[in-house]
Amino acid sequence: MLKNFLSVTDNQLQLALVLTLPLLAILLPYGQEALGMAPTQLPIRSAGDHFFSRQDWNSAAAAYERDVATNPENGRAWFRLGYAYHAMEALDKAIIAHKRAAKFPRFAPTANYNLACALALTGKKKAALNALEVALTSGRINPQMVRNDPDLISLHDDARFERLLHNHPNALLAEYEQLDFWVGDWDVFSKRGEQVGQNKIEKLEGGFLIQENWTSSRGRTGKSTNYYDPATNKWRQIWISADGELSQFSGSFSEGAMRFEGTSVNPRGKREQARITLTPKPDGKVHHLSKHSGDEGKTWYVYFDGTYVPKE
C-alpha cells in the first residue's frame, strides 16, 4: 500500500487523498527545505502536515489527534487523521475518523470512499457498500479506480458492487473501450516477417486515456496519446516522435477497425495527409496500416504496414 504520491493543490485535496494505490495523491502544501524553516516555523495548518508529507504516520496521527481535540470542527484534521490511521492499519480508529471527516461536505466524497475501504478490510461488507454508494453518488470517484482498489476486493463477489459501478454517472461507456484491443505489450513485425520494433500500449487515467510507447528496432522512439472525445463522438490521437515528427488524427471504430485520418508533419515542416487503420484479428494480433499522401489525397503510399504480436 501507499506507493505513489503526487503533489496537488489544496483545492484538489478532497479528490486526491483517496486510499487506493497506486492512484493515491497527497497534498504537500509547503517545502521546509525551500523555505529554510524548521517544522515549528512553517506557516502550515498543523504540525501534523510536516509528518504527513514524510509519511511518518504515527507522528502525524498524534498531531492531528491534538488538532481535533482542540477543534472538533476541523474537517481537514479529521480527514488526514483518518488517512494516517488507515496507513498505520489502525482500521477501527480510521473508521471513526473517516466518519467524522465525511460530515464535512468538502471532504465527504473521498472520506466516504476511504470509509468504505476500511470497512471492507474489517469484513463489514454491508456497511462498506453503503459508504461506497454514498461516495459514488457524488460523481467524483472514478469507477475504474474502485474496481482496481485492493482494499475493496472482498466486495467483488457481491452483486450490489457491480450494480453500483454500472450505475455510476462516470461509468465507462462502450465507446471508451473501442480501442482496448490495442492495449498490451507487443512485438511488431513487417509484412516480410522481420521484427521492426516493440510497442507497449497502456490504459491510464481510469481507462479514459490510452498511451502508446513505441521503440523501433533501430532505437527510434515515439509516443501517442489516444482518447475518446464525447463532445464530437470521435477518437483523437496525437503522436510525436523523438526526432520531432508530429501527427494529429481524428477517427472512429467502424467495419471492425479503428480508422484515423489526419495530418503528419516532419521536423522540417513538410505536411502530409495521413490515415491509420488498426484492425484486431481473431488470433489476438493487430494489423496496423498507415498511408500518407503528399498531394492532398490524390494518391496514397504505404507509410507503415505491420502486425502486432503479443509478447510471450
- For 65-114, the DSSP string reads HHHHHH-TT-HHHHHHHHHHHHHTT-HHHHHHHHHHHTTSTTTHHHHHHH
Q: What pLDDT, on the 0 to 100 scale, is given for residue 34?
A: 30
Question: If you average pLDDT over residues 111-127, what whole number do you get?
Answer: 96
DSSP 122: T
Residue 191: CB partners within 8 Å, gap ≥ 6? 305, 306, 307
Q: Is the pLDDT of residue 14 over 50?
A: no
Which pTM value belongs to this model?
A: 0.51
Question: If you average pLDDT over residues 118-139, what whole number do you get?
Answer: 92
Q: Is the pLDDT of residue 284 over 60?
A: yes
Compute the distance between CA of residue 231 and CA of residue 214 in angstroms, rounded to an integer. Answer: 29
Q: What is the pLDDT of residues 153-166, one digit of tens each?
A: 999 999 999 888 87
Name the pLDDT band for 279 (thresholds 50, 70, 90): very high
Name the pLDDT band for 170 (thresholds 50, 70, 90): low
Compute the distance between CA of residue 148 and CA of residue 143 in angstroms, rounded to an integer. Answer: 9
Region label for 303, one of left (φ > 0), alpha (ψ between -120 and 50) or beta (otherwise)? alpha
DSSP 159: H
Q: Is the pLDDT of residue 256 over 70?
A: yes
Phi, psi at 169, each rounded to 5°: -60, -20
Percent of the chain with pLDDT over 70: 83
Buried b (16+ CB within 10 A) or exposed e, 184-216: bebebbeeeeeebbbbebebeebbeebbbebeb
Residue 178 · residue 258 · CB < 8 Å: yes
Domains of the chain: 10-171 (1.25.40.10), 176-310 (2.40.128.20)
Q: Is the pLDDT of residue 109 over 60?
A: yes
Name the pLDDT band for 212 (thresholds 50, 70, 90): very high
DSSP 20: -
Name the pLDDT band for 173 (thresholds 50, 70, 90): low
Compute the distance between CA of residue 264 and CA of residue 301 in angstroms, rounded to an integer. Answer: 14
The interaxial angle of helices 108-121 and 91-101, nearest 10 deg, is 160
Q: What pLDDT, on the 0 to 100 scale, is given for residue 126?
A: 96
Question: If you average pLDDT over residues 286-312, what whole number do you get?
Answer: 94
Q: What pLDDT, on the 0 to 100 scale, is given for residue 47?
A: 85
Between 139-153, 159-173, 265-279, 298-312, the lowest mean confidence (pLDDT) is in 159-173
Question: If you average pLDDT over residues 247-273, what whole number do you get?
Answer: 94
